[in-house]
Amino acid sequence: MRVAMIGTGYVGLVSGVCFSDFGHDVVCVDKAQAKIEMLRRGDMPIYEPGLESLAARNVAAGRLSFSTDLAAALDGADAVFIAVGTPTRRGDGHADLSYVYAAAEEVGRAMTAPGVVVIKSTVPVGTNREVLRILRRVRPELVIDVASNPEFLREGAAIEDFMRPDRVVVGAATERARDVLRALYRPLSLRDAPIHFTSLESAELIKYAANAMLATRITFINEIADLCEHVGADVQDVAHGVGLDRRIGPKFLHPGPGYGGSCFPKDTLALARTGQSANSPLRIVETVIAVNDARKRRMVEKISGALDDRLAGRRIAVFGVTFKPDTDDMREAPSLVVVPALIGAGAAVTICDPHGRKEGEALLPGAAWREDPYEAAAAADAIVLLTEWNMFRGLDLARLRSVMSGDALVDLRNIYRPAEAAAAGFAYTSIGRPAAAPA
């Protein structure tokens, strides 16, 4: 099949590359000439493991191309995907749908034959119906169907998620739209991936409800971790014991500095605003948002406490600033709260992150950067482990301690065992676990 993918951001680029690997003929379209030229050279504008090699393979096979020519991309397309951004709208927290609606109007004007327009962007309930109205207004003479096909891609594991999904959700009101999406995803039938067909509204809400549920689990275990610190329990044991219940499961029960990224913060906020607008408030989601925002600020207090509540003049090495490992995405990362607060309190901060510098240098002014964690820790009073990249999991703790001036290790991802850190000479602070006595 021939596919036009409008937007080469994270979702559009990964989806377009993966569809081409299914054997479809895919053209990824973007207005940004510089980005298209970069993609044509084989350079990826984002870091996602495996994406560059997968794109190169399908470009070489003639199944994948990149273009700024919308009309040419739509010519003969069986499906036109809109995968543009829906950031939080300033002032009110609703999703900004201006990019989606603008793309829908441009697509409608450029279409020359009946077709199926698929909304891949994360959009609130009612958006697909509005897109359909726009298309009918712009091109009343054409029969254009609209489908909702939300993405469920984890940054750092997006290719695996696309190729081996838990499910594919398709909201469609017509049989033609269902047939086109069924044919596009037919390669997954060999892997028994279920395609869940619903109404447009249900598909839109599934995406938001799923992200809100995951954000709630993260926030819940973070609050349990706080309670563990007050009562002497170990959150690792508690989370494991809870996760063994098959009704609950172990995923997303890992305490840390709060959720961030491109999805959970904006999607929980958009869902909360949708509930308020529909006069059906989602109190749990509203509380999750508030608790998570406070969580990031609370981490600054935890770091300060490890340094006797005196940050001014201290040297602090921060390991990891992207919102999660295996991505260069800094959106809503806890580091964007933690690092500026440390610098604002008078600390000198040095950052080590394998892929965070590209975005992070502009977002975290005043910080120094080092490629090597031992160099970053040199003469530091404290190390703060903020993002659990693999490169930080097997560090030589004794060597790390030997290059420091101080002895504080604040592990906000619980990578190390308290006894192991204490044996290396650290005054160790973690999340929701009792501290080990120094060796």
> What is the DSSP annotation of 374-420?
HHHHTT-SEEEE-S--GGGTT--HHHHHHH-SS-EEEETT--S-HHH
Closest CA to 257 of 348, 321, 208, 344: 321
d(CA 376, CA 369): 7
Q: What is the pLDDT of residues 326-376, one digit of tens each?
A: 999 999 999 999 999 999 999 999 999 999 999 999 999 999 999 999 999
Residue 369, both tokens: 């950067």
* Catalytic position from the list 18, 28, 228, 263: 263
pLDDT at 300 over 60: yes
pLDDT at 235 over 60: yes
pLDDT at 239 over 90: yes
Class of domain 208-290: mainly alpha
Residue with the bigger pLDDT between 189 and 22: it is 22
- In three-state secondary structure terms, 349 is strand
Give the residue-averaged pLDDT of 111-115.
Answer: 93
CA end-to-end span of the chain: 64
How is the chain split into domains, by residue range? 2-198, 208-290
pLDDT at 435 over 80: no
pLDDT at 217 over 70: yes
* H/E run at residue 95: none
Q: How many CB atoms lie within 10 A of CB 266?
A: 23
- What is the structure's pLDDT at 90? 84
Determine which of 6-20, 189-203, 232-246 has the lowest per-residue pLDDT on average: 189-203
φ, ψ (nearest 5 deg) of residue 348? -95, 120
* H/E run at residue 303: helix 283-306
According to DSSP, the residues that pair with 82 across neighbouring strands are 6, 119
Closest CA to 179 of 206, 197, 162, 193: 197
Determine which of 122-136, 223-237, 301-315, 424-438 has the lowest per-residue pLDDT on average: 424-438
Give the residue-averaged pLDDT of 78-82.
Answer: 97
Active site residue 263: yes
pLDDT at 260 over 70: yes
Residue 319, both tokens: 């390991």
pLDDT at 438 over 70: no
φ, ψ (nearest 5 deg) of residue 376? -65, -35
Identify the architecture of domain 2-198 in CATH: 3-Layer(aba) Sandwich (3.40)
Residue 56, CA distances (Å) to 24, 50, 82, 154, 200 in order: 15, 10, 23, 22, 34
CA 375: distance to chain centroid? Answer: 29
